[in-house]
Amino acid sequence: MLAETLEAVQSSPSRRTAYVRFVLVALAAITLFKTFWFARWGGWTDRELADFDAFHIVAQHVWRGDLVQVYHFESLLKMQMEAAGGATGFMPWTYPPQYDLLVAPFAFLPVGVGYLLFTAGTLALYLVTLRAMAGRNFAQVLVILFPALAITIGCGQNGFLTGALIGIVCLNVERRQWLAGLALGAMVIKPHLAIAVGLYLLATRRWIVLGTAAAVVLASSLLCTLLFGWQIWTAWLGAIRESAVFLEQGFYPLFRMISAYAALYKAGLPASVAVWGQAAVAGVALLAVLLGAARNVSPQFALGVSVMVSVMISPYAYDYDLPMLGIGLALILPDLTKLTRPRERSAIYSLILLAGAYGLLQSGRLAVQFGQKVDPDQHFAPAIGGFALMALLVLLVRLLLRGARPAPAPSRTVPATE
């Protein structure tokens, strides 16, 4: 059974060390390879842009004083085509102005060097945070999360940063609430990924955390207004409205998305039905947060579930957001063996692995079959990651409804007396 195989990773200190070293070496190798790729060394001079390229372009326009233009897709597309030397992928910009400030320093570095510093730095922060949370389960979590970690490195996205920030919130929510509040406030860079944890903190009355987070959001918003002008907020909101239209029309690479919306839309349902499906899943996810706060489960388990469902709320969620699942998994693992049978744990591990690996494997398949600049919309690829997370949500809700009662022991046949 998968649960027994993965949990065997923890069987001895030497085995745990061996697995951790193997995963870390593999992640370092992928990072080095992608550094050459982003730097356009060797045979990668003619390549399509990836996510960190978009970060680099936006960083340059922060200093040029025309940042508002990156929030208009037609203008941004021209910038991307100039950087790519031709055709480019579909990458609208919908990040809040605070994220523009965060990436601004990378404008002074070549894109390859910037990618290396950003990815290696955020990955290191994430791994240190995950290690502090997982303890002796660190190796097991790393193995389960490996596909998600690999694809986040591959595109140079910020999943390590958001995962680390939420991890810092969880580590400090009890004793250093001001630090947890600073980290939660920093999640303004991707606010939709902080909704579930914010609701849990509200339900458990962590006022210092919430107050500090609100102060960070307000102060950073004021700073952005002073630096970029009030029009930056109008441009940002306009970009969000524009992206909603793009999402409805299926312009995004939906097979890489992990939302219920993407799963239902790619399954052939109308966009309106997929929206209602996403709303229903988001409602169940938030209900799971409240159940965790109210049921007789450990605070660590309840907080872990809140972190895990954070990636299930927004229709705009990608596989590179999945490192956050590792933070939640690290929190629930100590209680998971008490609350579940091996079969249930196998299902949970399998769904996390599937959600992380599917987009990676499909991207590789499409590239091999149709070339590096393939348009996924021209070749059908379902959004399986969304279905995997919906199934994971059902399992988590079942565990919360079960409460703190241990899972029933497997039935045993009583031998007949002779």
Q: What is the DSSP string of 228-239?
A: H-THHHHHHHHH
pLDDT score of 3 more than 90 = no
The 8-class DSSP code of residue 416 comes to P
Task: State in Å, rounded, how far the first CA of the chain is from the last one.
Answer: 34
How far is residue 299's CA from residue 15's CA, in Å, rounded to a whole number? 30
pLDDT tens digits along 59-90? 999 999 999 999 999 899 888 888 877 667 77
Residue 269's pLDDT band, with cuts at 50, 70 and 90, is very high
- Residue 407: the pLDDT is 47
Q: Residue 274 carries which side chain, given as an amino acid letter?
A: A
Q: To the nearest 10°, report the CA torsion of 354, 356, 357, 362.
A: 110
Range 176-187 average pLDDT: 96
For 394, residues 6+ apart whose C-beta sits below 8 A from its C-beta are none
Range 131-143 average pLDDT: 94
Range 260-272 average pLDDT: 94
pLDDT tens digits along 315-335? 999 999 999 999 999 999 999
pLDDT score of 106 more than 80 = yes
pLDDT tens digits along 198-240? 999 999 999 999 999 999 999 999 999 999 999 999 999 999 9
Q: Are 141 and 326 in contact (CB under 8 A)?
A: yes
The angle at the Cα of 291, spanning 288 to 293, to the nearest 5 degrees, equals 115
For 356, residues 6+ apart whose C-beta sits below 8 A from its C-beta are 145, 146, 147, 148, 149, 151, 319, 322, 325, 385
Q: Which among 102, 136, 109 has a CA at the least distance from the CA of 11?
A: 136
Three-state secondary structure call for residue 252? coil
Place of tokens 């609350």: 339
Total Cβ atoms within 10 A of residue 132: 14
Tell me the average pLDDT of the chain.
Answer: 89
Q: Are 318 and 255 in contact (CB under 8 A)?
A: no
Range 177-189 average pLDDT: 96
Residue 2's pLDDT band, with cuts at 50, 70 and 90, is confident
pLDDT tens digits along 359-406? 878 877 766 666 555 555 555 678 899 999 999 999 999 999 886 554
User: Exposed/middle/buried for 249, CB within 10 Å: 0-12, 13-18, 19+?
Assistant: exposed
Please, which residues bridge with residue 318 across strands? 257
Q: How far does CA 314 lie from the centroid of its chain? A: 11
Sign for the CA dihedral angle at 285, 287, 290, 291 comes to negative
Structure tokens belonging to residue 49: 């842009």
How far is residue 384's CA from residue 351's CA, in Å, rounded to a whole number? 10
